């Protein structure tokens, strides 16, 4: 059930890292959300932006499990409270890994530790390629994709 994706991005690991953790990069690639965290092991994080609860909707939240700047970020993941009543018990893990390959960066995303019958699995499986394509495009061009939303 693990979700695993590999993308090759024509940008440095440092540039891709900034897309993953900076307010500007996250806002552009994560549908208007910002990310709130100190990015320290054990710290909380949340993707917050327009949604069911207005501009302060928590879409995804969790804890930072591991971090190596410009190389790796691993977090727990829960859907926001407005998506699932039992959001606290529906935990997965997301790990972004950045690796230089020639003049580009290999971005690997692993979304694992899915509980049986997780109600968001199928939607998440379809959403990650869109998000990762947006990250790739933004890191390479400074522009995002138009998904028609």
User: Is 148 part of a structural domain of the chain?
Assistant: no
User: Is 59 part of a structural domain of the chain?
Assistant: yes
User: Is 34 part of a structural domain of the chain?
Assistant: yes
Q: Per-residue pLDDT tens for 26-68?
A: 999 998 999 999 999 999 999 999 988 888 999 999 999 999 9
Number of domains in the chain: 1
User: Is 10 part of a structural domain of the chain?
Assistant: yes
pLDDT at 53: 87
pLDDT at 115: 93
User: Is 48 part of a structural domain of the chain?
Assistant: yes
Domain containing residue 23: CATH number: 3.30.530.20
- DSSP class per residue in 63-132: EEEEEETTTEEEEEEEE-TTT-TTGGG--EEEEEEEEEETTEEEEEEEEE-PPTT-TTHHHHHHHHHHHH
CA pair distance 107, 140, nearest whole angstrom: 13
User: Is 149 part of a structural domain of the chain?
Assistant: no
Question: What's the pTM?
Answer: 0.94
Supply the range of the domain harboring residue 78: 3-141
User: Is 12 part of a structural domain of the chain?
Assistant: yes
User: Is 147 part of a structural domain of the chain?
Assistant: no
CA pair distance 113, 140, nearest whole angstrom: 31
Average pLDDT rounded to a whole number, residues 1-27: 97
């Amino acid at each position: 059930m693990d979700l695993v994706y590999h993308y090759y991005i024509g940008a440095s690991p440092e540039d891709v890292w900034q897309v993953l953790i900076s307010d500007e990069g996250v806002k552009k690639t994560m549908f208007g959300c910002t990310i709130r965290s100190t990015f320290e092991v054990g710290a909380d994080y949340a993707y917050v932006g327009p949604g069911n609860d207005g501009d302060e909707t928590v879409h995804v939240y969790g804890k930072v499990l591991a971090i190596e700047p410009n190389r790796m970020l691993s977090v727990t993941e829960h859907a926001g409270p407005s998506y699932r009543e039992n959001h606290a018990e529906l935990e997965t893990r997301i790990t972004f890994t950045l690796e230089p390959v020639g003049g580009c960066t290999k971005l690997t995303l692993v979304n694992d530790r899915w509980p049986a019958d997780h109600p968001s699995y199928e939607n998440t499986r379809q959403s990650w390629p869109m998000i990762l394509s947006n990250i790739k495009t933004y890191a390479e061009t400074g522009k995002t994709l138009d998904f028609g939303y």
